[in-house]
Structure 1
């Protein structure tokens, strides 16, 4: 059967590729080096499929339709944003496994939306570019949770979606070796007067909870507390919750934390390992 062989938490900050040189050179090197380390670990794990959990930033969905959770089950390409500096190209999907996750989720009561054709935004494109593209034969299943537009997906629901993904992979008859990426965050304020602010103490609190495998502690953080302490961008830790739930009992081993004001984000990387 298929199995989840690893997981990672990481940023999908679009300013990393679009204004790379804006950051301090040493910080830039460390962040890009962390992406490279994730890519190497994925290769060492002999993974053939990456599930990238991200969220839309009004690039794909608008007020007319905002899915709570969506999975790409067909053709995938990206990125949608030309200003990232990446060439738009095909992203190879694992369509049979993606469809299995979809239908298994329905059996679990997960209200999946799905896309038979999807052009991803930076929420998926950035981690794909840095951590998947260089691994020949590694396919990508894109998953979107609504962490950007109120009312956002709640932490408990993000956990349930991750648990459903785990069950689906465990029941799949193939032999895929899957890695799961929870992307986004940590503290950043987008489109407000506080844009550029980073709350390092909040970030380290989130990393400590993830490091202890305390998913319940992450779920307990209300929208109001996250918005106050970490900004609207920090709601993306719900993607982290989903990834941690997909791994099961796990702890996040810190790889790097960098507060980068030039990229307006407190950036965190961690590898998820069995508790």
Structure 2
């Protein structure tokens, strides 16, 4: 039987690599310092494998066929966007299949990939927690947080509970850490193809992006770069701290009760990424006992971290 070591959850941002701080007092400096402490704690735990739950930013999934939940079971590669790791990633195949079977047995018809592409939404946190160039085997779980139709927050919590059951029932894997990557509050341009405000070229890209994947990615990176560095960008630090405190109580119900509209009002369209935290929290079934937070408007994101174990 597998042993769940706990949950580590953290924000990601392209600007962690595009606009790195010169020191601890610069924007993002406190977040990266706390992330380094977290990584040291994880190294002491010495997981045999990790399950990484993260979103995709239209590098692997598009609206030609958008799955709510997707698991990689054999080969996975990092896309390499925004300076994140590119190339093959070590997949814990036996564990991935055990999780797939457990989740489908619990009634979740998640999509499956033998050749999965993941972007910075998953890879950045994987390396930030486990170390750059890590070879710790992972199970990549991608959740659609980009635009409606989204899996509801209640559905994500139920998915997380089933994931935890599947993890506990998986044999022969050893010590497993769950990593959730995403959020916290950030406001992004619409990704919803139904939104009349979306430019036609952008709409074509989020639906048909596979046709010219690298060209689309270059164009997107240019647009994202232009958003960075603004010290007045909208970040809702009060809500982010409430969210972290709520998961510290062990009760995610009040978060789910906000619904999509309430969540987006408080945390922006990018706030839908907190679904990864809800899944991980439900899987581990333990409250966050350590958190750290820095609002970084220059990175257009509230940068939070949490763990279900103490970080010294």
What is the distance in 2 between the residues matched to 1:216 and 1:157?
A: 12
When the two chains are superposed, the root-mean-square deviation of aligned CA atoms in Å is 2.1
Match of residue 143, structure 1, among 141, 144, 149:
141
2:195 paired with 1:159 = no
What is the distance in 2 between the residues matched to 1:232 and 1:22?
A: 29
What is the distance in 2 between the residues matched to 1:137 and 1:55?
A: 21
Please give the residue correspondences for 1:250-269 in structure 2 after superposition, counting only pairs within 5 Å.
250-269=286-305
Partner of 1:201: 238
Report if aligned partners of 1:22, 1:262 keep a CA contact under 8 Å in 2: no
Which stretch of the first structure deviates more once superposed, 105-114 or 29-38? Answer: 29-38
- CA pair 228-235 structure 1, distance change in 2 beyond 3 A: same
- CA pair 238-87 structure 1, distance change in 2 beyond 3 A: closer
Report if aligned partners of 1:55, 1:236 keep a CA contact under 8 Å in 2: yes
What is the distance in 2 between the residues matched to 1:86 and 1:123?
A: 9
Structure with the greater alpha carbon radius of gyration: 2
Report if aligned partners of 1:212, 1:252 keep a CA contact under 8 Å in 2: yes
What is the distance in 2 between the residues matched to 1:155 and 1:23?
A: 37
- CA pair 135-59 structure 1, distance change in 2 beyond 3 A: closer
Report if aligned partners of 2:85, 2:123 keep a CA contact under 8 Å in 1: no
Which stretch of the first structure deviates more once superposed, 66-75 or 216-225? Answer: 216-225
What is the distance in 1 between the residues matched to 2:255 and 2:166?
A: 24
2:236 paired with 1:238 = no
Which stretch of the first structure deviates more once superposed, 29-38 or 70-79? Answer: 29-38
Partner of 1:88: 86
Partner of 2:102: 104
Offset of 1:21 from its aligned partner? 3.6
Offset of 1:55 from its aligned partner? 0.9
Offset of 1:23 from its aligned partner? 9.2
What is the distance in 2 between the residues matched to 1:100 and 1:253?
A: 29
What is the distance in 2 between the residues matched to 1:149 and 1:47?
A: 33
More strand per residue: 1
2:98 paired with 1:62 = no
Secondary structure at the counterpart of residue 126 of structure 1: helix
What is the distance in 1 between the residues matched to 2:14 and 2:270?
A: 12
Please give the residue correspondences for 1:115-130 in structure 2 after superposition, counting only pairs within 5 Å.
115-130=113-128
What is the distance in 2 between the residues matched to 1:131 and 1:207?
A: 18
TM-score, normalised via structure 1 length: 0.91
Offset of 1:130 from its aligned partner? 1.4
Paired residues, what number? 270
Offset of 1:80 from its aligned partner? 4.2
What is the distance in 2 between the residues matched to 1:120 and 1:244?
A: 22
Report if aligned partners of 2:77, 2:88 keep a CA contact under 8 Å in 1: yes
Gaps of 5+ in 1: none
- CA pair 22-230 structure 1, distance change in 2 beyond 3 A: farther
- CA pair 110-258 structure 1, distance change in 2 beyond 3 A: same
Partner of 2:248: 211
Partner of 1:9: 9
What is the distance in 1 between the residues matched to 2:245 and 2:91?
A: 33
What is the distance in 1 between the residues matched to 2:84 and 2:55?
A: 19
